[in-house]
Amino acid sequence: MEDYRRYYDLESYLFDEVGPKFRELGRLNAFDLFCVVIWRSNHSKSHIRNLLRSKGETKSLDEAVEKLVKGLRTKQSAKDRLRYLMEDWRIRLPMASAILAVLQPEEFTVYDKRVSEVVKASDLQGMVWTDLLWNKYLEYKKKVEQQGPKIFSLSDKYRWLCGKSFHDNHKEWLTSESQD
């Protein structure tokens, strides 16, 4: 009997099961890729599904994901992997970085506008792939590494900064005078 509790905390499922399985076996199926998509941005799942089907030139999501992963595994550098998702598959930075952060958490962190505000990094939302975007993403990643607690992994530094953003915004809202 399947233990569906493993999907209750999707982030734990992704980082504890999906990522390690990918790093060990080099495989990712459509179910697990869409767990990443839903975790990052549930409202984007139909868009990403249609994108994969059109770019994968198939109606089968498993075949499209297999094609995406096969190409991803041929890329030698982190820069090439991000470029591949953004240019070849037209996946925007927040989602591409989320996918790569799950699959390779030592090399990538999720690009998040809220975290970029906390660490005072450039807003990369909506940018297309260029070397400038890559350099600004690296600056963002470095700020996440520097401003998160030293003892934390890159993934936990990102989580800590997300929590800080939530905390600070929530406290500010609670003390604001406006009647939203």
Q: What is the pLDDT of residues 9-18, one digit of tens each?
A: 999 999 999 9
Tokens of 39: 């975790």
Q: What is the pLDDT of residues 104-144, one digit of tens each?
A: 999 999 999 999 999 999 999 999 999 999 999 999 999 99
Look at residue 180 in the predicted model and tell me its pLDDT: 55
- What crossing angle do the helices spanning 61-74 and 45-56 adopt, rounded to 10°? 70
**Whole-angstrom distance, CA of residue 122 vs CA of residue 160:** 19
Query: Which DSSP category does 89 fall into?
Result: S
Look at residue 37 in the predicted model and tell me its pLDDT: 97
| 1 C-beta neighbours (distance < 10 Å), count | 3
Residue 32 contacts residue 18 (beta carbons within 8 Å): yes
The pLDDT confidence band at residue 40, using thresholds 50, 70 and 90, is: very high
HEC readout, 34-72: HHHHHHHHHHHHHHHHHHHHHHHCCCCHHHHHHHHHHHH
| 149 C-beta neighbours (distance < 10 Å), count | 9
Tokens of 152: 């934390």
Amino acid symbol at 92: R
Look at residue 179 in the predicted model and tell me its pLDDT: 60
Average pLDDT rounded to a whole number, residues 160-169:
96
Q: Which residue has the tokens 């037209």?
A: 90
Q: Where do the structural domains in the chain lie, given as residue ranges?
A: 1-105, 109-180
**Whole-angstrom distance, CA of residue 160 vs CA of residue 60:** 37
Average pLDDT rounded to a whole number, residues 54-67:
87
Helix (H) or strand (E) holding 131: helix 131-147
Look at residue 96 in the predicted model and tell me its pLDDT: 97
- Global pTM value: 0.93
Residue 157 contacts residue 145 (beta carbons within 8 Å): yes
